[in-house]
Structure 1
C-alpha cells in the first residue's frame, strides 16, 4: 500500500491537465526526406541551414595544456615586471633630445615585448598547438630580462 505522499513524489503538478497530449506532435516526413535514412522511431528535429554551434567544432585545451599555458603566461608577466624594474635602474647618459627620446622608446618597447610576444604568438597560431608551444618557449628564452638578472645600474 502506498500513501498519497509517495504518489506525489512520482508526478509533477499539472500532470492531470486534460490539455496535455502525450506522443509525438511532429507530422511524418515524406519517405524521400532526411528522415528516410533514420531507424524506426527516430525523428529529425530542426531545419537544414539552421543554427550551427561554431565552438563545437573546435577542440578545447586539455587540462595539462591549460595549466602549462597559465604557467607560461605567468612567466611572461614576471618578465614584463623584470624588464620594468631592470630598465628603471639604467640611467640615460644621452643629452640631445632625439637620443633621449629613442632611448626612452627602446626601454618602453623592451618592457612591452614579453606581453606583445605572448599575445601575438597565442593569437597568430590558432589551430596550430605545436607551433604555439614552440613560439611561446622560444620567447621565454629570448625575452629574459637581462638588465634585471645581471643587475645593471646601481641600487
Structure 2
C-alpha cells in the first residue's frame, strides 16, 4: 500500500466528522510511541512552551546523569542518544526559539560533562557541529532572542 501525501490527507480529512477525527487520532496513538508523544505535546504542553522546555531540560539532566563513564565508547553512544531525543522533542514543538534553547542547553551540559569531551575527537566534533548549527539558526529569531542566545553561544564557543 502506498501512503498518500499530506495534501491528499488534508483534503480527505475535511470531509470527516469531529467524532471520526477523534477516533483516527486515538487509533494513531495506539500504534507508535512517537504518535502518543506528539499528541501529548499538542494536547497538554503546546500552551506553555516554557513548561515544555523545562520538562525536556529535566529529562536531559537525567539522561546525562545515567551516562556510563567507564569508556568513551559508552559516552559517545549515550550522547548521540540524548541528541536524537532532543531533536525529536524539537520536531514536536516546531518552534525555532525552543530549538535553539534546547540545543544550547545540550551544549552547556556536554561542555561541563566529566570526563571532559576534549579527550575525544568524535565528541568534540559533535559539539562543534551543534554550535555551528545553532549559529545558523539564531539569525532566524526575534532580535531580543538573537542577542540573548548569541551571548550564551559566545560563552560556549570559547
State the TM-score, normalizing by the size of structure 2. Answer: 0.25
State the TM-score, normalizing by the size of structure 1. Answer: 0.25
Higher helix share: 2
Q: Which has the higher contact order (CA 8 A, sep 6+)?
A: 1
**Which structure has the bigger radius of gyration?**
1
